[in-house]
Structure 1
């Protein structure tokens, strides 16, 4: 698979095949990839919790917000839920802010997951106090994101923005998840020298 193909396959996934669980050691391998990413001032303030334990996963699941634009959808049904989670933390004894490290880390983790045949959803809507209690987190750690991971069980279709310009994603009657994306011509503000 080329790098472009890997990036194109790295779509947000919200439905998973629970009958095909991810293993905890695979989650650890993903964190090991993130260890090599660039870090502002090389502070490396991010820490992680990984779990593929079904009981812990069942406790984590209801603490997450799943899809802001799908207002009538409460998240994946039983049998379609993630089989593993990576909780991304900021170690406040190392830095007051993650800077942009958490964005780099999320992309690194997700590309690694896709390379292994998994998919996931980066979730920032989290009940942080309850999640911290589940893992008995010391105060030095701030929960930044949760990556929900598993074997994808829904097709994602990337398509051009509609004529009205709406960026809202939706699920079609065929069950496919549709994601409108801006074209390259909308992203390039300038190109120098002009052709």
Structure 2
């Protein structure tokens, strides 16, 4: 069942003019809440944006990507505290937030909703628009809504498993 959601999920850039029901939105947010995090710190705060005027005002901050206006919801994921980082060379909070939002994308796909990861944004502008404190950097933004099927999805190629996985030792 999970593999089905993974296979369904793709970056949606065309959305129907249809709001996401409260119960469905609650379910996708619950998927984020249940996501694992290092030492269970859950170092995130999700700002859920549904107001049409606010979403329109955010288009410029999100790299001018016009399709963002079509999304029923934007989920702005911010750091809220530090992640678990003992001796690692990565930011545990960023990893944890990414896991939480991936849970959101898969839950959304399983419910017939679509998402798109938005990494091209001006964090300062987004923070100003949403009154996000400077101590809570924006990590990623996720568009959410009902996919417009009149724009068919054509999946891109994926590398074969043997190019992505090696056994016991790293090989070229």
TM-score by length of 2: 0.81
Question: Any stretches of 5+ residues in structure 1 without a counterpart?
Answer: 67-73, 159-178
Q: 1:190 aligns with which of 153, 167, 171?
A: 167
Deviation by residue 1:15-71 (Cα, 9 ceiling, x = unmatched): 1112x22245533432222111110122111110002211111112232138xxxxx
Structure 2, gaps ≥5 residues long: 86-90
Residue 142 of structure 1 pairs with residue 113 of structure 2? no
Other structure's SS at 2:19 match: coil
* Pairwise CA RMSD: 2.4
Distance 1:102 1:90 in 2: 8
Structure having the higher Rg: 1
Spell out, residue by residue over 1:58-109, the C-alpha distance to the aligned partner (whole angstroms, 9 max, x if none).
112232138xxxxxxx54287xx211110001013x4484141022112101
The aligned counterpart of 1:180 is: 157
With a CA cutoff of 8 Å and minimum separation of 6, indicate the structure with the bigger relative contact order: 2
The total of aligned residue pairs comes to: 160
CA contact (8 A) 1:10 1:119 kept: yes
Quick check: 2:94–2:139 contact (8 Å CA) kept in 1?
Answer: no
Tell me the secondary structure at the aligned position of residue 38 of structure 1: coil
**Per-residue CA shift, 1:114-173, capped at 9, x if unaligned?**
122110111111111111111111222110000011111232222xxxxxxxxxxxxxxx
Answer yes or no: is the 8 Å Cα contact 1:12–1:120 preserved in 2. yes
Larger helix percent: 2
What is aligned with 1:3?
A: 2
Judging changes above 3 Å, is the alpha-carbon distance between structure 1 residues 11 and 47 closer, same or farther for their aligned structure 2 residues?
Answer: same
- Measure, in 1, the Cα distance between the counterparts of 2:120 and 2:2: 29
Alignment partner of 2:99: what SS?
Answer: helix
1:89 to 75, 78, 81: 78
Query: Quick one: structure 1 residues 39 and 139, their matched pair in 2 at CA, closer, same or farther if it must change by over 3 Å?
Result: same
Change (3 A) 1:30 1:190: same
For 2:41, the equivalent position in structure 1 comes to: 43
